[in-house]
Structure 1
Amino acid sequence: MRASTSTLSEIPSLFGVEGLVAVVTGGGTGIGLMIAKALEHNGATVYIVGRRLDVLERAAREHSRHGQLIPVRGDVTDRESMAAVAAAVRERHGFANVLVNNAGLATNFLPKLPGPGEADMKTYQALLWDAGTPAEFGAAFDVNVNAVWYASVAFLDLLDAGNRRGGGGATSQIITVASGGGFRKDDKVFSVPYTLSKSAATHLGKMLAHFLKDWQIRSNVIAPGIFPSEMVDGLISDEYVRAGVPLHRAGTIDDMGGLVLFLTSRAGSYLNGTVQLIDGGRLLLYPSSY
């Protein structure tokens, strides 16, 4: 094989997303809104999906730069609801280039666990017994795993149509927002249902890459560390972040936006089946499977 002698693309072409159509679940707040803004501010049309229409409409009013943040009410845990969201995109645009499965749920935060010298086994056993009710485990998997599967399937024809139209040098893509916590094996995880379900979501993202490889639809996973969001508001202090992240800060919209623009543009078009850990080095502090 001869080395390529083609000319390197200029930055606007290499990282450009203008004209793309993207769908972001949980796009009204937190990481989802960061992703939506990064894409819309750089020329993409972005459907932001969530259960709270008022939150989505406020996000569209306050954060749209080009008037291309489109709020659509949808419940990711309801297959028919997501089919209706796909139908709305199909009617308005007829295709999609990117689906971002971002909606997530964390339940039943785990307390600090005692060691053998601090409590007896019965006490320890009771804490683990209460690490999550069956309903809490089920809810976490419904939102963080099951919904990823059904939303992805609901949009396959639109992503296929995006490929047939051409997507600025990158084939259509599903991006699943999992979590760096999904790789942790330690007993300091803040939610057992969340950690296990995000681990499953990461594996699902890899599976989708295989399911869809012959259709030229890519699947990649983003595994964030600590970013500002409703999920962590009031739970994580500045002191905690400084002690728990080697870079001594939480992630920002530039951190997330830069990664998303890379993944969705020509620059990241050769990535498929990957996991992009973005956590400021946080996972380095814990035993993990990463």
Structure 2
Amino acid sequence: MSKPDTTLLHASSLFDLKGVVAVVTGRSTGIGLHIATTLAINGATVYIVRLDEEQVVKTAGKWNELMRVEQPQSRGKGAGSLKGLKGDCGSKWPGRGEATGEAGGGEGRLCHRVVNNAGVPGKGPTKVPPTAISSRSIYFDKLDEQDFYDAYRVNSIGPYFLSTAFLPLLVASKTKAPYGNKFLPTIVNTASMNAWTKDPATAGLGIPYILSKASMGVMTALLAHEIVPLGVRVNAIAPALFASGMTRPGMVDEWGRSTIEAKDVGSTALMLLVNSFITGETVLVDGGCLLAIVFSVQLERSYCGFFLGSLLTFVEYGT
């Protein structure tokens, strides 16, 4: 029996993505950009897909130049890069046409990774003191069917069609990829912490957004189950609120970065790429935010919370 090759366990080997082809949808800012640049810096060829072609091409060019200057040692054969690609992430046609045609056709008819990150916030009501009349007003009168259609179209329906359209290219990567069987093909969806909080206040009061993002967790498990025979994995990342061009335009700099470090999201995406034994899972990336929310709610609603509240009031005011 041959000895184990310990060099394969080096970080430089585990995360060497040379030869990997990935497609990442989104606004080319925030989470999508964090994932795309992490993959590209580690050697992957990454197509960024969004409707604004001028902006996505500009972003790709700026980051390619930065990588060329700061990482000349990685710019050899098979080095990573970003490529801008126009596509409507909320409809079925880009999956059948431009996205699969250009991304797959330009890379030897294969694709290793599809990241469904595109999303829209959806319309949210204004919080008012709860009464039967006010509740009807904010949850019924001020929301239309179209508000839900718009959120589901981009946040759920589009990712479903894009994922399934890429299946032939994903499967092809198992036999045609230059890196051999080092990586299994994978789909990664961007869900949301809000699927667990059930509180519109944590999602800009966007009820359609919360419902559509919660469906991503179900779709992740469903697709993972259905395409197991193909050897394609499906997982999801569920972040807390990350600043991006969608959520916090003023907090995104000229490079598309937010105040959240790229490594927090990028490293999670990288882990889901290199670990071939994870599928059907949704990974929460929120810095403990959900734990704090759950604790505060439990504390507020419990007898213990009432007792502690009374005690703190006595200590502060003496009554």
Between 45-54 and 126-135, report the one with greater CA deviation. 126-135
Between 147-156 and 21-30, report the one with greater CA deviation. 21-30
Aligned residue in 2 for 1:203: 218
Which residue of 162, 166, 169 maps to 1:158?
A: 169
Aligned residue in 2 for 1:43: 43
Between 223-232 and 126-135, report the one with greater CA deviation. 126-135
Distance 2:141 2:111 in 1: 42
Deviations, residues 45-72 of structure 1 (Å, cap 9, x unaligned): 0011010001101111111225721111
Which residue of 76, 81, 94 maps to 1:68?
A: 81
Aligned residue in 1 for 2:227: 212
Mapped pair 1:286 → 2:301: no
Whether the aligned pair in 1 keeps the contact of 2:200 and 2:210 (CA below 8 Å) is no
Shift of 1:111: 2.5
Mapped pair 1:264 → 2:273: yes
Whether the aligned pair in 2 keeps the contact of 1:225 and 1:251 (CA below 8 Å) is no
Q: What's the C-alpha RMSD, in Å, of the aligned pairs?
A: 2.3
Aligned residue in 1 for 2:244: 229
Deviations, residues 190-214 of structure 1 (Å, cap 9, x unaligned): 2100000000011101111011111
Whether the aligned pair in 2 keeps the contact of 1:113 and 1:187 (CA below 8 Å) is no
User: Residues 83, 195 of structure 1: CA spacing in aligned structure 2 closer, same or farther, 3 A cutoff?
Assistant: same
Distance 1:254 1:138 in 2: 33
User: Residues 222, 131 of structure 1: CA spacing in aligned structure 2 closer, same or farther, 3 A cutoff?
Assistant: farther
- Unaligned regions of 5+ residues in structure 2, if any? 68-74, 252-257, 296-319
Aligned residue in 1 for 2:92: 79
Q: How does 1:68-107 map to 2 (within 5 A)?
A: 68-84=81-97, 85-93=99-107, 94-107=109-122
Whether the aligned pair in 2 keeps the contact of 1:107 and 1:191 (CA below 8 Å) is yes
Distance 1:50 1:202 in 2: 22
- SS of the residue corresponding to residue 163 of structure 1 reads helix
Mapped pair 1:28 → 2:28: yes
- SS of the residue corresponding to residue 188 of structure 1 reads helix
Shift of 1:39: 0.6
User: Residues 177, 187 of structure 1: CA spacing in aligned structure 2 closer, same or farther, 3 A cutoff?
Assistant: closer
Mapped pair 1:124 → 2:122: no
Distance 1:152 1:187 in 2: 28
Whether the aligned pair in 2 keeps the contact of 1:108 and 1:131 (CA below 8 Å) is no
Which residue of 254, 257, 260 maps to 1:251?
A: 260
Distance 1:98 1:217 in 2: 10
TM-score normalised by length of structure 1: 0.85
Distance 1:260 1:27 in 2: 17
Distance 1:173 1:140 in 2: 24
User: Residues 135, 144 of structure 1: CA spacing in aligned structure 2 closer, same or farther, 3 A cutoff?
Assistant: same
TM-score normalised by length of structure 2: 0.78
Letter in 1 for 2:240: G
Mapped pair 1:149 → 2:160: yes
User: Residues 124, 152 of structure 1: CA spacing in aligned structure 2 closer, same or farther, 3 A cutoff?
Assistant: same
Deviations, residues 55-103 of structure 1 (Å, cap 9, x unaligned): 1011111112257211110002222222211011222111000000010
Return the structure number with greater helix share: 2
Aligned residue in 2 for 1:273: 280
Shift of 1:113: 4.1
Distance 1:257 1:97 in 2: 17
Q: Which has the larger radius of gyration?
A: 2
Aligned residue in 1 for 2:308: none
User: Residues 128, 46 of structure 1: CA spacing in aligned structure 2 closer, same or farther, 3 A cutoff?
Assistant: same
Whether the aligned pair in 2 keeps the contact of 1:225 and 1:282 (CA below 8 Å) is yes
- Unaligned regions of 5+ residues in structure 1, if any? 237-248
Letter in 1 for 2:287: G
Shift of 1:132: 2.7
Structure 1 segments of 4+ aligned residues over 4 angstroms from their partners: 5-8
Deviations, residues 26-51 of structure 1 (Å, cap 9, x unaligned): 15222111111001111100011010
